[in-house]
Structure 1
Amino acid sequence: MEGTNLEWRALARRQWPLASVLVMFLLLQAQGEGPAWSNLIGSLSLAALAVVSPRKPFDAVLAAATALVASSVLMRAAGATPGPSLLGALTVVELGAMMAMAAIVVRQEKVWRSTVALVVLVAAGVAEYYIRPNYWVRYPDHFPAEPSLLPNAVVTVILLALAVGTGLYFRARDRERATAVRAEVAAAQHAERMALARELHDVVAHYVTGIVVHAQAAQAVPHAAQEVLPIIVTSGNEALTAMRRLVGTLRDSEAAAPEATESGLADDVRAVAEKSGQPVRLSVDLPGEFPVALARSVLRLVQESLTNTRKHADGVTRVDVEVTSDGSAVRVRVADDGRQRTSPLTGSSGYGLVGMRERAELLGGTFTAGPRPTGGWEVRAEIPVSND
């Protein structure tokens, strides 16, 4: 039977307990009184179909019902003596396999298909009851009185209800598990989108802001164009490099390693400060090495803070950038002495401060930003160092 519900290895891991029980019942049946070989056709067929039934439960039930009726007809035609039976002429193996298939089809199939499958199983059981030779009649010394049809029917209903209830229980468990998996996938996708949004805003927007600022300077001072154009070209190339890195990350490329930091966090912070084109007074005290995720976030905090200063502040004569660590946490402070623009350069998405706060809080840190009492703007962040 071909199917896509379960691969064979997964099927083996899931069904080995049932297979083991059915094999044990087959061995006990072979050791029982009476020529048990006459029941082997139906018993082996139903046991095999029960084990593989999770691949295509509905088809397995139809095949099992056909095998049960066919084996009963064959036994009647050959006048074969049946082996020990439970309900009617069903062996313990056949009964166990039918109960297992009933539970599996209820668990996996749609309601109407599982209903049809259960009706087919019951019909096959009834047909078997009237077709097969009766073990109770063949061996009256062992069983003085054959149970009537009513007790058989009651026991059948109880066992069927047990199988259906088991299937419904696992069906509900599967539904809960699927809901939980979907929620986890949605949360992971949301986290990935947020991480990508932060990278786009903090990295690409940083370079684009530089391009816009230098282009505006070239427009305002025509003679400065020759000096500004190389800076614009450099910023454009860096923006393209950042975009390629992000696209590579989305494609899960091994070559797309994240930015940071073979040279170390301190050197990376100095490089960002130098490329900002602003009057930065830098203070860096970062002994030791830091986890890549923390180093990348600290670098982005400094980078985005300098970008915001360029976009939102006029008359800046000094930007203090302090990045220090005492081993337990990394502290970032970026403060300028400018005046806030009424209309920021390149517009404002409003996501810069949100992204910086998210970066800090995702690593268990704190973040604050706001105007300084003496004028200008200040950003502070503290992120704990974790080597986990």
Structure 2
Amino acid sequence: MESTDLGWRALLRRQWPLACALLFFLGSEVLGEPSTWWQVPGSVVVCALAVLAPRRPFDAALAAATALAASSVVLLVADAAPAVPVVSGLVISETAAAMATTAIVVRQASPVRAAVAVALLVAVSAATLWVRPDYWAEQWPGYEPPVWQHAIGGGVLLVLSVGTGLYFRARDRERATAVRAEVVAAQHAERMALARELHDVVAHYVTGIVVHAQAAQAVPAAAGEVLPIIVHSGNEALTAMRRLVGTLRGAEVEAPAPAVAGDLADDVRGVVEGSGQPVRLHVDLPVAVPPSLGRSVLRLVQESLTNTRKHAGGVSRVDVSVAVVDGQVRVVVADDGRERRTAPVGGSGGYGLVGMRERVELLGGEFEAGPRAGGGWEVRASLPVGG
């Protein structure tokens, strides 16, 4: 469960409340106790590690424990007592950062690594009580809080931190389970949709076989001309049926054999014109595309344009390219819009990309989708025309 791929923007959106709170604690310590500058570098490092912890929680916990230990040694050598300690020898910023790091490592790391990290943080935090100069002895001679008060306070804070981490860990697990179930349902629905389309193609070929067979019966002299057509239609029907069976079984499907296609270019133009978006279209189809494959190409273009309309704002141009290159139908849909921060009108299940990827992979192709370097979104698909 440990997250190592959280982007910086996502990290900022997730961690900014913690960063603001830690900055406030740091500022109050510096302004309230000007003589505690020796503790500031260590506190800054521990707070920074707490903010960055979701990227590498276990490493952040180990680094935070090391920073606390190093800061304690610096204070001991300089004989400088820190600001008012909250628990053990930790000041409020260090305490808050240690609690946040503990919650994050419990939430994201494996149980063994989380236990090791928490144990190390607790041990180092407890050791600061004896390593660091005593604040109370300097400010209030004769007063020394009993150890049991530190133990109770530290225990309460530890329970809060671990409990928070376990709560969010359970929420993450439930959310992941729900997402997996929804993805499987979306994939199943896409398989069924593709199966229906393939069935329509099979029915078309079978109908052609029946019609030509009846013609051969009615006019025996025409059998020589009709039989090759029947053989061709039968082969195409078998190819589409194999793909239908593979779809229903969820198996890898090999690319179909070449087949006679309809006017795919006109169909793509119709989809583009019906989208109502500023589209610049490029179509280059020097070879025939099988009808069943053409259906999938149209669905890819249509779904991509739908996603652009729903999720992109400020679109000034959408580039749509459908071309056959080296035996591959290459579909590219790219826009120059920006991500909308509000939900699209009518809502969105969020599984359009999943459905497109599933469709392309079932046809033996490759699919990519993601943000463009210069802004906007791009969808790329490559489908084999024939095997």
Please tell me the TM-score bracket, short chain as reference: 0.5 to 0.7
What is the CA deviation profile of residues 127-182 of structure 1, one whole-angstrom value per residue up to 9, with x for unaligned ones? 222111111111116xx622111110011111100001101111111111111111
Residue 237 of structure 1 deviates from its aligned partner by 2.5
CA distance in 2, matches of 1:111, 1:94: 24
CA distance in 1, matches of 2:19, 2:175: 25
1:334 corresponding residue in structure 2: none
Asked if the contact 1:88/1:134 (under 8 Å) is kept, the reply is no
The residue type equivalent to 2:147 in the other structure is L
* Residues 220 and 134 of structure 1: CA distance in aligned 2, closer, same or farther (over 3 Å): farther
Identity of aligned residues (%): 56
How do residues 240-279 of structure 1 correspond to structure 2 at under 5 angstroms? 241-248=290-297, 252=300
2:40 corresponding residue in structure 1: 40
The residue type equivalent to 2:297 in the other structure is G
How do residues 164-183 of structure 1 correspond to structure 2 at under 5 angstroms? 164-183=162-181
How do residues 306-325 of structure 1 correspond to structure 2 at under 5 angstroms? none
CA distance in 2, matches of 1:11, 1:227: 69
Residue 249 of structure 1 deviates from its aligned partner by 5.2
1:59 corresponding residue in structure 2: 59
Asked if the contact 2:42/2:68 (under 8 Å) is kept, the reply is yes
CA distance in 2, matches of 1:215, 1:121: 82
How do residues 200-215 of structure 1 correspond to structure 2 at under 5 angstroms? 200-215=198-213
The worse-fitting range, judged by mean Cα deviation, of 77-86 and 165-174 is 77-86
How do residues 1-388 of structure 1 correspond to structure 2 at under 5 angstroms? 4-33=4-33, 35-140=35-140, 145-215=143-213, 217-218=215-216, 221-225=219-223, 228=226, 237-238=260-261, 241-248=290-297, 252=300
Residue 75 of structure 1 deviates from its aligned partner by 1.4
The residue type equivalent to 2:55 in the other structure is R
From the CA coordinates, give the structure whose radius of gyration is larger.
Answer: 1
When the two structures are superposed, what TM-score results if normalisation uses the length of structure 2? 0.60
The worse-fitting range, judged by mean Cα deviation, of 101-110 and 211-220 is 211-220
Asked if the contact 1:249/1:256 (under 8 Å) is kept, the reply is no
2:273 corresponding residue in structure 1: none
The residue type equivalent to 2:9 in the other structure is R
Asked if the contact 2:89/2:125 (under 8 Å) is kept, the reply is no
SS in 2 for 1:199: helix
CA distance in 2, matches of 1:96, 1:145: 25
CA distance in 1, matches of 2:45, 2:303: 54
The residue type equivalent to 1:172 in the other structure is A
The residue type equivalent to 2:156 in the other structure is I
The residue type equivalent to 1:190 in the other structure is H
CA distance in 2, matches of 1:76, 1:256: 63
Residue 208 of structure 1 deviates from its aligned partner by 3.6
CA distance in 2, matches of 1:60, 1:43: 14
CA distance in 1, matches of 2:230, 2:175: 53
Asked if the contact 1:34/1:81 (under 8 Å) is kept, the reply is no
* Residues 225 and 255 of structure 1: CA distance in aligned 2, closer, same or farther (over 3 Å): farther
Residue 62 of structure 1 deviates from its aligned partner by 0.3
The residue type equivalent to 1:123 in the other structure is A
CA distance in 1, matches of 2:4, 2:111: 20
Residue 103 of structure 1 deviates from its aligned partner by 0.5
What is the CA deviation profile of residues 83-129 of structure 1, one whole-angstrom value per residue up to 9, with x for unaligned ones? 22211321100000000011001111111111111100011112222
SS in 2 for 1:55: coil
CA distance in 1, matches of 2:5, 2:87: 32
The residue type equivalent to 1:134 in the other structure is D
Asked if the contact 1:248/1:256 (under 8 Å) is kept, the reply is no
CA distance in 2, matches of 1:256, 1:24: 46
Residue 253 of structure 1 deviates from its aligned partner by 5.0
RMSD: 2.9
Instruction: Give the paired residue count.
Output: 253
What is the CA deviation profile of residues 11-66 of structure 1, one whole-angstrom value per residue up to 9, with x for unaligned ones? 00000000000001011111213512121022101100000000010000000000
Residue 4 of structure 1 deviates from its aligned partner by 2.9
Residue 218 of structure 1 deviates from its aligned partner by 2.9
- Which structure 1 residue ranges, 5 or more long, are not aligned? 258-388
Asked if the contact 1:65/1:120 (under 8 Å) is kept, the reply is yes
* Residues 255 and 51 of structure 1: CA distance in aligned 2, closer, same or farther (over 3 Å): closer
CA distance in 2, matches of 1:138, 1:256: 69
Asked if the contact 1:248/1:255 (under 8 Å) is kept, the reply is no
Asked if the contact 1:38/1:83 (under 8 Å) is kept, the reply is no
1:330 corresponding residue in structure 2: none
CA distance in 2, matches of 1:198, 1:180: 27
What is the CA deviation profile of residues 169-227 of structure 1, one whole-angstrom value per residue up to 9, with x for unaligned ones? 11111111111111111111011000001101123332243135414643775312366
